[in-house]
Structure 1
Amino acid sequence: MKIKYLILTACLALTFESCETADFEAAYTDPSKIANSTVEKQFSGFLQTNRDFVLPAYRNYFVVLRITLNRYTQSIGWVNGENQYVPGSSAIEDKWKNYYQLLTQYRELEKIYASLGEADKADRKIYMLAATTYLYDHTQVMVDLHGDIPFSEAARLSQNGGDYSASYPKYDKAEDLYRKMLDDLKQYADELSTITVSNGIQAGFRTQDFLLKGDLTAWRRYVNSLRLRMLTRVSGTASLGARAKTEMAEIVGNPTKFPIVTSNAQNIQMTVFDLNSPINSRGFQSGFEDWNGNLASNVIINHMKTNRDPRLRFVFEPGTAAAGEYNGLDNTLNAAVQTEQIASNRLAIYNRSTLSRNQFFPGMLISASEVSLYLAEYYLSIGNDALARTNYENSIRQSIDFYTRVRDISNDNTTPKGAAVLPAEIDAYLASEGVNWANAKDKLLMIASQKWLHFNVVQPYQNWAEMRRLDAPTFRFWEDASNPQRTPPVRWFYADEEKNFNAPNYELVRSRDNLTTRIFWDLK
C-alpha cells in the first residue's frame, strides 16, 4: 500500500470535521498532538474515517459505484461505451485509500490501548471488540474486491517507531484473512455473551459510539450477523465449507447466546439524526443522480412488474413522459438507441424521495432481509425446505418494510409517497410465478434474485459479491469488442500506486492482478 497511507494517524477531535492528509502527517511530526488521546476519542475518530463509504455520499456513488458495481449487477441502466468493464483508477484509488485510512486509525487505537495498564485494558475491552468488528466488516469488502490485500503488516509505521524500512506490508492471502476474521469474530461472540461493562465505561461508550449508541446487544447482533455473512460467502469452499455449516448451525441453534438481526428496527446502520451534523446523506443526490447514474435497468423493472412487486413504487419512479408506466433501459442495446431512449424521458429512475433526495437515508451495513436470505440459503443447503421458505418469505416482507420505512423518514417529496402496502398485496407477490417458493424449480436462484432486488444500489458491495459467488441471477451484457475485458470483471485491480510505493510486495501478487482471477470463494 502507498506509504503515505501508512503514516496517516488519527484526527482526535470529537467534532466530525474532515481529516486532510496534511492534518495526519502534521500529527506525526508533533507527537504531543496524539499524546493526550484516549481509547474513547480514538474510537470515535476511527468510526468517522470512512463514514462517506457507509452513508450514501457523493464520491462513493459518483466516482466509485456509478461506473463499476451498479453496472456489473445491472441495478442501473447506462449508455454503453468502450472500456466500460475496466474499473477506473479513480474508483479503485478512492476505495483503497479510504480503507487504509480506516486501518491506520485502527492501528492508532491498538497502540493507545496497548499502552494502558491491565485494569484499564479490561475496562475498555468493549471498544476493541467493537472497533475490530467494524474493521472486519470493511476488510471483508476489500478482500471481496481484490483478493489478497496488505493487512497484518499494514498501517504500522507509528507502531514501528517511524521505521519506514520495516513498514512496507506484505499481502495476506484472502483465504487466510477470512479464516482469521472468522476465528476472531467467533471469539468475540463468545466474549460479548458474558461481558460486563462498568456504568462509567458504558456511559462513555454510549457517547463515543455514534454507530450503535453503545448498545451492547446491537454489537452482539452485528458480530453474529457479520459471521453469518462471511460464513455464507465461504460455504461453498473446500477449506471452509464444513466449518461454515457447523458455525451457522451453532448460531441459529442458540439465539440467546448468538443474537442476530431479525427486524429492520435492529438493522446495523449509520443512522442520520440531525442534518446539521456531518452524519447526513446530503451528498446522495448529486452522487447518484448526476450523469444519469440513477437510471433503472430493464431487467430489474421487468422482474418487479411481472411479479407485481410492492416495492416498485417505493424504489422507482416512472419517467416524466411515461404516463405512469415503468420502463427500464435495455443494457444490451447500442449507445445511439440508448441515448434516444434516455432523451425521451420515458425511462424510470430510482425514486428520488425514497433514496437520493432523502437526506435521512441510513448508511446500511447489515439489514434484516439480508440476514434472512443467508438463513434461507443455509436451511436450503441442509435440506430443511420449510425453514428455508420461512426465511425466504420473511426476507421479502422485511425488504418491503425497509423501503417503506426509509420513504417514511424522507424529508423530500419530489415523488409523492406511494400507497401503503397491504397484506393482500404481499401475499399476491409471494404467490406470483417468479417468486412462489412452492413451485420454484431453482430455489437457490429465487434466493439470489431476492438478494439482488433487496441490495440493488443500497448495498452494492454485497450485491456484487453474492452475484459472483452464486453466479445468479445472470444477465446479458453488451460486449465490448474493442477491449480484452468484453464483459464485467470478477475482481478489481490493485491501486496503481502499489506498484511504485510497495513494489517488492506487489511483485509477489502481480501475476494475479488482473480482472479475471476469481476470489477464492468465487467457484465457477
Structure 2
Amino acid sequence: MKNRLVLLTLAILTSLAGCQYSEFEENYTDPSKVSETSVEKQFTGFMIANREYVLPSYWNYFVVLRITLNRYTQAIGWVNEENQYVPGSAAINDRWNNYYQFLAQYRELEKVYADLSPQNKQDYRVFMITAATYLYDHTQKVIDLHGAIPFSEAGMLSTNGGDYTESYPSYDEPEAIYTKMLDDLAGFADELRTMEINPGVLTGFESQDLVNRGDIDMWLKYINSLRMRMLTRVSETPAFADRAASEINTILSNPANYPIVTTNDENITFRIHELGTLIAANSFQSGLEDWDGNVAGKALLEHMMNNEDPRLTYVFEPGEEAGGEFIPLDPLLSATEQTELIGSNTMAIYNRTTLSRNQYFPGMLINASQVHFMAAEHYLKAGQDAQAREHYETGIRESIHYYEMLRNMSNNLISPEPIPVTESAIDTYLADADISWAAATGEMDKMRLIAEQKWLHFNVVQPNENWAELRRVEMPDLVFWEDQSNQQSLPPNRWIYPGSEQTYNTENYQQVQPNDNLNRTLFWDN
C-alpha cells in the first residue's frame, strides 16, 4: 500500500456527479489545508470517501463481488471456469485502496480535531465517536477479508508532513484491532449515552451526518449492534469467547442503556433521499446484471422454493423465457451446459424491481434481522431456548418485511408483481418442518436453522457478512465444482494482499508474507 493521502473535495465530486443534494450545497475545501476546513466538513468528506462500498455500485458489484464473495456463498449462479476461486487483482486492489483512502480521510479528521481548543474538543466529541464507529464498521470488513492489516500507523502521510519514509505502516494483528475496536465501542456506548451536546454543534451534526441524520439514539443502536456483530464473529475463539458471551448478555439484558436495532424502521443505512446525487444507487443495475451477475444461486433459490418462503417473489423473478417457472442453475454442470442454459433466458434471476433497478435501494450497514439472528445464536449457546426461538422467528419476520419494504420503495416496475405477504403465510412458513424451531433437535440443528436464515437474508445484499458468517459457522453446507486445473480448487478462506504491498511496503509486508495465501484461515474461523 503506497500510503498516500487522497484528497476528496465536494467541489470535484459535484462536478463529476452533477450533485444537487441540499446537504452538499457548500463546497468542501481541500482537507490538506487544515486552516480552511472544519470538523463538520471533514466528517462528511470521510463518510463520502467509501460510499461505493456502502451504496450498491457498479465497481463493487461487477468488478469485486461478482467474481468473489457472491460466488463463494453461492448467492449467485455462474459459468464455471478455470482459476475461478482466485480473487482477481482488480477486485483486491480497488477494495484495498478505497479502504486506505477512507482511512486517510479519517486521519485528516483526527488532525483537524487535534488542533481544536480543549472546550471545542469537548463540544465536537460527538463527531469523533460517530466517525470512529463508522470507521470500525468498515475496518472489520477489511480484516475479515485479509486478516492482519496496516491500521494503527496507516493513513498518516499528511500527519507526518508528507514524509513517505515515515509513513509506510506496519501490520497490526487482527486480534489486536478487534480488541481495540471492541474496547472503544464499549466506551462509546456509555459516553455517548450520557453526553450533553452543545445545541449549536448538534445542529451542525444533524446536517453533516449522512447515516443517522444526527439522531443520537440511532447512533447508540448502531454502536451496540456493531458491538454484537464483532462479538459474535469472535465468539468461538478462546481469547474472546468469555468476553463475547458476557458483553452480548449485558447488551441484550439492558436495552435502556444499550439499545440495539430491533425493527426495520431502525435499520442503519445510507438512505436515498434524492435521485441524481452522490448518495444514490444509480449503478446497481449494471453492477449486478451485467454479464449475468444476477443469476440465482441454486441452493438458495431451491431452499426458498421448497419451503414456500414468502420472500421468494420479492427476492427472485423467473427468467424471461421460463414461462413463470423459477429454474435454478446447477453449479455442478459443465461450463458448456451452463452457458447454454443462461443463454436461453430461462434461469431465475434476482428481482430487478426490488434490487438492481431500485434507485432508492439504501446502503445497508446494520439491519434488524441480522441483529435478531445474532441474539438467537447467543441465547442458543446460553441454553435459553425460548429467547433463542423468539429472536430466530422475529429475525425471519423482519427479513420478510425488509424485502417487502425494499420492493415498495422502488421506482421501477419491470419485475412481476410479487405474491402479497400475509401473517398467515409467515406463520405457515415458520411451522414448516425444515424451518420450525420446535421441530429441530439439539443445538447443532438449531444453529443450522439460524445459519440458513442469515444466508437467505444476506444473499447479494450483504455479501461481506454472508461470506464471513459462512466461513465462521460452516453452514449451510454448499457443494462446489472443483477446479482440478488449479491449485486453488475450491473457494478460498481469505483474500491475499495486493501486489502494491510487496512493491511499496516491502519491509512491513515481509512480516505477514508467510501467512499470505488463500487457504490460511482467519483467527475467528475455527
The reply to whether TM is greater than 0.5 is: yes
In the other structure, the counterpart of 1:316 is 316
1:468-496: CA deviation from partner (whole Å, max 9, x where unpaired)? 00001111100000100000000001111
CA spacing shift, 1:218–1:15, aligned 2, 3 Å: farther
Q: Does 1:451 align with 2:448?
A: no
Residues 493 and 518 of structure 2 are in contact (CA less than 8 Å); yes or no, is this contact kept in structure 1? yes
> Matched residue of 1:359: which SS?
coil
Task: In structure 2, give the amino acid aligned to 1:275.
Answer: L
**CA displacement, residues 235-278 of structure 1 (integer Å, 9 cap, x when unaligned):** 00000110000100110111011000000000000000100322
Query: What are the ranges of 5 or more consecutive residues in structure 2 without an aligned counterpart?
Result: 18-28
> What secondary structure is seen at the aligned counterpart in 1 of 2:499?
coil
How many residue pairs get aligned? The number is: 512
Note if contact 1:153-1:167 (Cα within 8 Å) is conserved in structure 2: yes
Alignment partner, residue 486 of structure 2: 483
> In structure 2, do the counterparts of structure 1 residues 16 and 394 end up closer, same or farther at CA, with 3 Å as the change threshold?
farther
- Correspondence list, 1:410-421, <5 A: 410-421=410-421
Q: Deviations over 1:147-191 (max 9, x none)?
A: 000000001011112222111100000111101100000000010
Q: Show CA shifts across 1:117-171 (max 9, x none).
A: 0000000000000000000000000000000000000010111122221111000
Report deviation, 1:420.
1.8
Alignment CA distance shift 1:86-1:402 (3 Å): same
Report if aligned partners of 1:407, 1:417 keep a CA contact under 8 Å in 2: no
Write the distance in 1 (CA, Å) between the matches of 2:399 and 2:114: 42
Report which stretch shifted further, 484-493 or 33-42. Answer: 33-42
Alignment pair present for 1:505 and 2:508: yes
Q: Which residue of 2 aligns with 1:97?
A: 97
Conserved 8 A contact 1:9-1:108: no
Q: Does 1:247 align with 2:247?
A: yes
Does structure 1 retain, via aligned residues, the 8 Å contact 2:76–2:293?
yes
Contact 1:69–1:461 (Cα < 8 Å) also in 2: yes
Instruction: Report deviation, 1:504.
Output: 0.2
Structure-to-structure mapping, 1:322-471, within 5 angstroms: 322-441=322-441, 442-471=445-474
Letter matched to residue 482 of structure 2: E
Q: Distance in 2 between matches of 1:308 and 1:182?
A: 39
Query: d(CA) in 2 for partners of 1:478 and 1:18?
Result: 42
Cα deviation for residue 400 of structure 1 reads 0.4
**Letter matched to residue 515 of structure 2:** R
Report the more deviating stretch, 56-65 or 409-418.
409-418
SS in 1 for 2:364: strand
* Residue 130 (structure 2) aligns with: 130
* TM-fit CA distance, 1:388: 0.4
Q: Is the 8 A contact 1:77 1:298 kept in 2?
A: yes
CA distance in 2, matches of 1:248, 1:497: 39
Give the equivalent residue in structure 2 for 1:170.
170
Q: Label 1:131 to 1:14 Cα distance change in 2 as closer, same or farther (>3 A).
A: farther
1:50 aligns to what? 50
SS at match of 1:415: coil
Q: CA deviation at 1:34?
A: 3.8
User: How many angstroms apart in 1 are the aligned matches of 2:363 and 2:44?
Assistant: 16
Q: CA deviation at 1:77?
A: 0.1
- Aligned partner letter, 1:426: I
- d(CA) in 1 for partners of 2:432, 2:5: 56
**Letter of the aligned partner of 2:491 in structure 1?**
P
1:9, distance to aligned residue in structure 2 (A): 3.5
Does the 8 Å contact 2:317/2:416 carry over to 1?
no
Moved >6 Å (runs of 4+): none
What do the CA deviations read for 1:6-35 (whole angstroms, capped 9, x no partner)? 33244265975669xxxxxx969xx6x442
Q: Distance in 2 between matches of 1:7 and 1:468?
A: 33
Pairing 1:18-97 to 2, within 5 Å after superposition: 33-97=33-97
- Secondary structure of the structure 2 residue equivalent to 1:364: strand
For 2:235 and 2:209, the matched residues in 1 are separated by 32
For structure 1, which segment, 107-116 or 436-445, has the greater mean C-alpha deviation from structure 2 after superposition?
A: 436-445
| SS of equivalent to 1:134 | helix
Q: Distance in 1 between matches of 2:298 and 2:341?
A: 12
After TM superposition, give the deviation of residue 438 of structure 1 in Å: 0.6
- What is the one-letter code of the residue matched to 2:505? N
Letter in 2 for 1:114: A
| Equivalent pair of 1:14/1:45 in contact (CA under 8 Å) | no
RMSD, aligned CA: 1.4
Indicate the SS of the match to 2:158: coil
- For residues 434 and 333 of structure 1, the distance between their equivalents in structure 2, rounded to whole angstroms, comes to 27
Match of 1:472 among 471, 475, 494: 475
- State the match for 2:207 in structure 1: 207
| 1-structure distance, mates of 2:397, 2:338 | 34
Q: Name the SS for the 1:365 alignment partner.
A: strand
- What corresponds to 2:20 in structure 1? none
Separation (CA, whole Å) in 1 of partners of 2:287 and 2:318:
20
Counterpart of 1:522 in structure 2 is 525
Structure 1 gaps, min length 5: 20-25
Q: Which residue of 2 aligns with 1:7?
A: 5
Could you tell me which residue of structure 1 aligns to residue 25 of structure 2? none
Matched AA of 1:96: W
- Which region of structure 1 is more displaced relative to structure 2, 10-19 or 150-159? 10-19
Q: Distance in 1 between matches of 2:251 and 2:190?
A: 11
> 2: distance between equivalents of 1:148 and 1:380?
31
Mapped pair 1:291 → 2:294: no
Q: Show the counterpart of 1:258.
A: 258
TM-score by structure 1 length? Answer: 0.96
Distance (Å, rounded) in 1 between the aligned partners of 2:13 and 2:341: 46
Using the alignment, how far apart are the partners of 1:445 and 1:409 within structure 2? 32
Structure 2 Cα separation of the partners of residues 276 and 95 of structure 1: 24
Q: Secondary structure at the match of 1:193?
A: helix
Deviations along 1:311-348, one digit per CA (max 9) or x if unpaired, are 00000000112121111111111101111211222210
Query: Deviation per CA, 1:51-103, whole angstroms, max 9, x where unpaired?
Result: 11100010000000000000000000000000000000000011001100110
Question: Secondary structure of 1:269's match?
Answer: strand
Structure 1 residue identity aligned to 2:100 = Y
User: Could you say what secondary structure the match of 1:518 adopts?
Assistant: coil
**What letter matches 1:138 in structure 2?**
H
Deviations 1:191-244 (A, max 9, x none): 011011121111100100121101000100000000000000000000011000
- Residues 114 and 13 (structure 1), Cα distance of their counterparts in 2 relative to 1, 3 Å cut: farther
TM-score of the aligned structures, taking structure 2 as reference length:
0.95
Alignment check: 8 A CA contact 2:50 2:98 kept? yes
Give the distance between the partners of 1:417 and 1:258, measured in 2 at CA: 40
2:194 match: secondary structure:
coil
Q: Contact between 1:12 and 1:34, CA under 8 Å: does it hold in 2?
A: no
Distance 2:420 2:208 in 1: 37
Match of residue 230 from structure 1: 230
